[in-house]
Structure 1
Amino acid sequence: MNVNSVSSTFLLIAFFVYLLAFFLFVLSITGKRWSNRKPEEHTRQWGFVAFITSVVGFACHVTFFFTRWAEGDHIPTSNMYEFMTFLGMMIMCAFLIVYLIYRTPVLGVFALPIGFIIIAYASVFPSEVQPLIPALQSYWLKIHVTTAATGEAFFAVGFAGGLMYLLRSVDYTETTKNDKKEQRGVELTLFFILMLVAFIASIFTFNGSGYKAVFSKDVIVTNAQGVQETNHTTETYVLPPIVQPYDTKVVEMKSFLGMSEPLFTAPSWMEGASAGRKLNTVIWSILGGLILYALARLVARKPLGAAIGPIVKGMDAEDLDEISYRAIAIGYPIFTLGALIFAMIWAQEAWGRFWGWDPKEVWALITWLFYAVFLHLRLSKGWQGKKSAWLTVIGFIVVMFTLVGVNLVIAGLHSYAGV
């Protein structure tokens, strides 16, 4: 068995151990209702078992990381698969650190799903060990990417704390305009999470079934001698094409639910690599999210926030607020070093400039500025409670767009990360 297969096995084990730890954390919270022991004793004991299980999963995850490093002869953070698995590992590390500080089992109920959803998302991308492209052949790859991901991991734990606070504090029994607005905000946040889950599930489903649609396009280019040539290019979809790339012909397309051809063509102004496929993916993600949300509402027979809220009703709101703030306070200086300072030094070495307004650079700056504003409002203006919680939720949405949207939708110097 080669090292790569060993590393993949350890990642798979880590994923399922994380799932087990999640269910144990759920049991530590909900099982006290039918346990003969005191609720506090039940929560403490099962919470400890869940924590140890999480540590075992993290150890397997770390083993995956170093065995893959040995196989590729470079730190495994050079493409989307490697970066997302590393981010998932650091989210679990950040969770374990924050848990050791506060010893709050309910945090595992919300933080662990973020970790294993990120790992599942990583599995969407090609997992083969790839040689480093020239732009990444630098020791700054180790420094810049790892510190930036570590900061983002603490932002994820801060998001979990903020979401718990909102579920604890938003009253679904009230009907005032402000209460309705808060309820819609919580439901929208949960919908975004389900949309990411739907995207992962749809990719796995259609990939597993062998679905494929291929489009072709002839592009006229001028060679170095000034002679025009026709290049034949193809675009392959793994999701049924609701959207056809602009100015292309269908080469191969399997019928799906009676749909034997795309419903419409991407507009001509939508340019860039794989623009039609990316729009198609976004549409599928939204549709899948809507279906999952509708099914969840049908099962719960109430808004999802109202169904999940009772899990955290016994938590002290101030403790949740403190967990969220402390996680971000730890992550912000680490993110500052990794995503800005180290990134600019590497950019100077690689491209001869500290700043170039590349989309990834711009969104990293937006993320940094957002959390700078968060800390300023928190420390100077006294924004605590719901105001602080909403900012942590919005901030992590910005982080996810920086990681997912910029890499996969917007072209730029960092586009290699989406390959």
Structure 2
Amino acid sequence: MNWLEFSSSSLGVAFFLYVFATIFYMVAIAGKKWGKKDPKLHEARWGKIAFITSTLGLVAHLLFFFTRWIGSGQIPTSNMYEFITLLGMTIMIAYTIIYFIYKKLLLGMFALPLAIIVIAYASVFPSDVQPLVPALQSHWLKIHVTTAALGEAFFAVGFAAALMYLLRTIDFKDKTKNGKRAQRWLEFTLISILVVIGFIIAAFGFKGAGYTASFQQENASVSQLGEISTTTETVEYTMPPIFKPYNSEAIEVTPFLGMTDGLFETPSWFNGVNSGRKLNTVVWSIIVGLLLYGIIRVIIRKPLGAAIHPALEGIDPDDLDEISYRAIVIGFPIFTLGGLIFAMIWAEEAWGRFWGWDPKEVWALITWLYYSAYLHFRLSRGWQGKPSAWLAVIGFVIVLFTLVGVNLLIAGMHSYAGVE
């Protein structure tokens, strides 16, 4: 049996089961209006179908993980594709645990789309099995990465519940200065999610169209003796070059809307041969995300938050606040173990030091300190409700930057994770 092919098929099955489960959750919630004879029975029936479907999706996702492990001979956490799919799986594990505690169907409408976006994002990266570099050839890889991902997954569920709380409690009819500010920030949060979706759409769209562009970049460096040496490197683009690499010439560019040599040149202070490509990707993600937002706004003719708000009526906001808090409380000690303690033990084994101020280490510490502050304000200062929800939303943004931004934007010892 070809375990790797079976593994890929299992992930595809999991993805579509998650999509169907999300639809079933929506039907269950909408059933309050459709099931006029017995709305509660309608909701319970479709909610059960939705949860069973999401659980089957998780089973398929677990099959993907373990069969890829068998087929590759190494735990599938060594590059961005494998780690992001692991994160999607742990989000579903965390959601399932929280669901068994609180039995809130509506959480599935937000947690499952988050897992779907994560898996779709993972599919952008190369899925080939890559040999482990020496630093990764350790049993601590299994312990550190899986526990860190599980802790972050509970933060993700806390984020989903906090976002639901804000959508439920913010008054979109409030015309005061504070009311409008809260509405704008919530809308900005939803737009940010659409920008991530925009990246996925742009990446798959141009990839499906077979778009390619190549640039040759010259880089000058000065040795300790003062000698100047010049190196030439080739940079490959998979999206049309709005920003081309600094000090480069086009080798071969597929024409797109007149872009044959890049509309702008990446600023010289953007370090790294791939900095132009990364900036170009960010710009395309923002463009597609904003276009998607504009299309949705034309269709619904109101802000996204105002459109979603009615679906949450009847939900006790205190329950959402409690779910968000409990998810973070569960995730915090797990992340402490995986993201800091186990990571430092592994760093000592791999590099001979517990701490080295590597960007990934620094941002893991920032994440831990942030959620420590969240728990402090929650327990000591009584920050519940909206303040707590906003902290949970911002916290997950920090988690995402720690997971993705550091690997893609900052060079460091954790940049071996197959991000090209």
Structure 1 length-normalised TM = 0.97
The CA distance in 2 between the partners of 1:163 and 1:418, in whole Å, is: 31
Q: What residue number does 2:366 align with? A: 366
Q: Post-superposition shift, 1:258?
A: 2.5
In the TM superposition, what is the alpha-carbon distance from 1:222 to its structure 2 partner? 8.8
Distance 1:208 1:32 in 2: 40
Quote the Cα distance in structure 2 between the aligned partners of 1:196 and 1:328.
23
**2:417 aligned counterpart, secondary structure:** helix
Q: Does structure 1 retain, via aligned residues, the 8 Å contact 2:235–2:273?
A: no
Contact 1:71 1:129 in 2 (8 A): no
Indicate the residue corresponding to 1:244 in structure 2: 244
Q: Distance in 1 between matches of 2:53 and 2:338?
A: 30
1:50-100: per-residue Cα shift (whole Å, max 9, x none)? 000011000000000000001111110010000000000000010011011
1:212–1:238: 8 Å Cα contact kept in structure 2? yes
1:248 and 1:342 map into 2 onto residues whose CA distance is 43
Deviation at 1:219, TM superposition (A): 4.2
Give the stretch that moved more between structures: 191-200 or 280-289. 280-289
Structure 1 runs (4+) deviating above 6 angstroms are 226-229
The alpha carbon displacement at 1:302 in A equals 0.4
Determine if the alignment matches structure 1 residue 386 to structure 2 residue 418: no
Paired residue secondary structure (1:299): helix
- Residue 147 of structure 2 corresponds to 147
Aligned-residue offset at 1:308: 0.6
- State which drifts further: 61-70 or 255-264: 255-264
Q: Does the CA-based 8 Å contact 2:221-2:230 persist in structure 1?
A: yes
Q: Tell me what 2:413 maps to.
A: 413
Other-structure match for 2:324: 324
Give the Cα–Cα distance (whole angstroms) in 1 for the partners of residues 177 and 381 of structure 2.
Answer: 25
Deviations 1:229-273 (A, max 9, x none): 754310000010100101111001111123222111011111124
Task: Provide the C-alpha distance between the structure 2 equivalents of 1:158 and 1:259, rounded to a whole number of angstroms.
Answer: 43
2:402 is matched with 402
1:331-377 C-alpha deviation (Å, 9 max, x unpaired): 00000000000011111111111111111111111111111011111
Q: What are structure 1's unaligned runs of at least 5 residues?
A: none
Q: Which moved more, 1:55-64 or 1:36-45?
A: 36-45
* Structure 1 residue 98 corresponds to structure 2 residue 66: no
**How does 1:16-415 map onto structure 2 within 5 Å?**
16-219=16-219, 231-415=231-415
In structure 2, do the counterparts of structure 1 residues 262 and 163 end up closer, same or farther at CA, with 3 Å as the change threshold? same
CA contact (8 A) 2:28 2:47 kept: yes
The answer for unaligned runs of 5 or more in structure 2 is none
What amino acid sits opposite 2:326 in the alignment? Answer: R
Q: RMSD over aligned Cα, in angstroms?
A: 1.7
The answer to whether the 8 A contact 2:88-2:118 is kept is yes
Whether the 8 Å CA contact 1:72–1:131 is kept in 2: the answer is: no
2:408, 2:105 → 1: CA distance?
Answer: 35
Shift of residue 201, structure 1, vs aligned partner: 0.8
CA distance in 1, matches of 2:230, 2:395: 46
Secondary structure of the 1:370 match is helix
Check whether the contact 2:233–2:273 (CA below 8 A) recurs between aligned residues.
Answer: no
Q: Distance in 2 between matches of 1:406 and 1:14?
A: 28
Name the count of aligned residue pairs. 419
Structure 1 counterpart of 2:323, which letter?
I
Does the aligned pair in 2 maintain the 1:407–1:418 contact within 8 Å? no
Q: Residue 221 of structure 1: CA displacement?
A: 6.7
Determine if contact 2:222/2:228 at 8 Å carries over to the other structure: yes
Cα distance in 2 for residues equivalent to 1:222 and 1:188: 44
Give the Cα separation in 1 of the matches to 2:229 and 2:158. Answer: 54
Structure-2-length-normalised TM-score: 0.97
Over 3 Å counting, the alpha-carbon distance change for 1:358 and 1:176 in structure 2 is: same
CA distance in 2 between counterparts of 1:276 and 1:222 reads 22
Alpha-carbon deviation of 1:104?
Answer: 0.8
CA deviation vs aligned residue, 1:18-56 (integer Å, no higher than 9, x gap): 000000000000123122432222111111110000110
- The answer to whether the 8 A contact 2:245-2:273 is kept is no
Letter in structure 1 aligned against 2:394: I
8 Å CA contact 1:408, 1:418 repeated in 2: no
